[in-house]
Structure 1
């Protein structure tokens, strides 16, 4: 069976969400929406969460290798500026950290990481491994990204540092678009959420904040809204529970200012790694 790139994308994509310049949101069924040509894209990135590398009784090595191959195929065929691995990178045991890093180092695009509740290691060791602290920012093509921590080194859920968050939001207010990555959602939308009203209040006042991205809830792959701000989930890479597929989220920022995001199920197309896509 042969697949065109468009047929693979539409087979593997769930709902496509478009965020307009005025922070309005529209949803489309994949079959009723054609993705724009690649030359219309200003920036494109992926978010993949909850690999739980090392969790007993799961095929974590094979799952991680497969995910690396899928993401590298995305880079080859439609482009990826970077990938965010959004928490629970390994599963509890710190001996898994260098092993999972060696896996992600096989990506053919830059990648960033956030700290999750199962990443049970102190911040100093985390920094030594990834060269980033638990809270940090980065920028790409006049877009800003804020990474916030939601757990301590024992796996307890915590609210991100409010003073740091406020300071960074102020400094990044002049950027065209701002995106936040934080492993645990700051609402009680899910059993795994942790309400963080101070953080939410800061988000609500941030005009250039376009989206917040979460992992943690393996069975969630949709979008929630609060006060005109959008919070996206991306299912899971591995682990012992969650959606019946393993996937990742794509975000495309178009040159006209529109933001497209969609959750993918790459296993839907057996030719995903083929050069014919």
Structure 2
């Protein structure tokens, strides 16, 4: 018989989660109709340049689907959450140039296939491998989880500790990292120090991962912090569609998220937490 902790590891139905981690019910129409005050989108694993894949067409398909959605649902930014390219460092500059067309504000994280130096990354994207961005009372932290040889790394705990402390009075923090830092998946790693760190900050609302192309669901860390995947926008394996994830912060403080597949919503979920300011 599946216990409660095991159930939380593969949530895919519409649920509401309160501060204590209690499942209330399936999300109601009220959860979805609440006014949205902040919205953004995430895609991952483009793998520009992977042999025998249509990486340019994959981008154009994503761009068309995203712009169709955003026409009536404007987003503050789009994050490409790792594996922008497929190994060859010469791909990074043209890939970044192309992807920046999808939205006026595009951010990215380095994945294990993004085998470029920190300097090449900065030159292509205009920001460092670890960086933070502030949107009013909301903060996004984008962290590096690989090296130039493609080795999987834990997020930089010292950098995250500094930034989490710096932004501890922000209403909401959203974290983006490519490699799954909990050994939930075949390709994830165990990063216990990072796990313990983020649990100390109640304004961490969600963590977003790429890397695991076959994952498009939500898993809960200690029944408190949701980790969300979005499948893949390119590459040669994974879920049977190319899509992207949307996140909406509601006026009542709840967070609603779903995957666009790529024109239909799926896996709609709502998360509620009471943020205790320090």
**What is the Cα deviation at residue 99 of structure 1?**
1.9
Report SS of the residue matched to 2:38. Answer: strand
What does residue range 214-225 of structure 1 map to in structure 2 within 5 Å? Answer: 214-225=209-220
Match of 1:264 in 2: 260
- Matched-pair contact (CA < 8 Å) for 2:78–2:103: no
**What is the Cα deviation at residue 251 of structure 1?**
0.2
Do structure 1's residue 51 and structure 2's residue 46 form an aligned pair?
yes
Match of 1:68 in 2: 63
**What is the Cα deviation at residue 23 of structure 1?**
6.2
- Matched-pair contact (CA < 8 Å) for 1:75–1:109: no
Going from structure 1 to structure 2, the CA distance change for 1:146 and 1:108 (only over 3 Å counts) comes to closer
Q: 2:186 aligns with which of 175, 188, 191?
A: 191
Residues 169-199 of structure 1 deviation map (CA, whole Å, 9 limit, x = unaligned): 1111100011100001111111111111110
**Counterparts of 1:223 and 1:16 in 2: how far apart (Å)?**
10
**Counterparts of 1:128 and 1:175 in 2: how far apart (Å)?**
30
Q: Which runs of 5+ in 1 are unaligned?
A: 1-13, 270-277
Match of 1:126 in 2: 121
Report SS of the residue matched to 2:149. Answer: coil
Match of 1:144 in 2: 139
Report SS of the residue matched to 2:234. Answer: coil
- Matched-pair contact (CA < 8 Å) for 1:16–1:261: no
**Counterparts of 1:49 and 1:15 in 2: how far apart (Å)?**
22
**What is the Cα deviation at residue 73 of structure 1?**
2.0
* TM-score, L = length of structure 2: 0.85
Q: 1:96 aligns with which of 85, 91, 101?
A: 91
Residues 8-51 of structure 1 deviation map (CA, whole Å, 9 limit, x = unaligned): xxxxxx8545555666666748xx758745x8110110010000
**Counterparts of 1:66 and 1:257 in 2: how far apart (Å)?**
33
**What is the Cα deviation at residue 102 of structure 1?**
2.3
Do structure 1's residue 231 and structure 2's residue 227 form an aligned pair?
yes
Do structure 1's residue 209 and structure 2's residue 204 form an aligned pair?
yes
Q: Which runs of 5+ in 2 are unaligned?
A: 1-11, 266-278
Q: 1:173 aligns with which of 168, 174, 177?
A: 168
- Matched-pair contact (CA < 8 Å) for 2:80–2:109: yes
Match of 1:84 in 2: 79
- Matched-pair contact (CA < 8 Å) for 1:179–1:211: yes
Instruction: Give the number of equivalent residue pairs.
Output: 253
**Counterparts of 2:132 and 2:167 in 1: how far apart (Å)?**
9
**Counterparts of 1:244 and 1:268 in 2: how far apart (Å)?**
14
Report SS of the residue matched to 1:106. Answer: helix
Q: 1:155 aligns with which of 142, 146, 150?
A: 150
**What is the Cα deviation at residue 61 of structure 1?**
0.8
**What is the Cα deviation at residue 74 of structure 1?**
2.2
**What is the Cα deviation at residue 201 of structure 1?**
0.6
Report SS of the residue matched to 1:72. Answer: helix
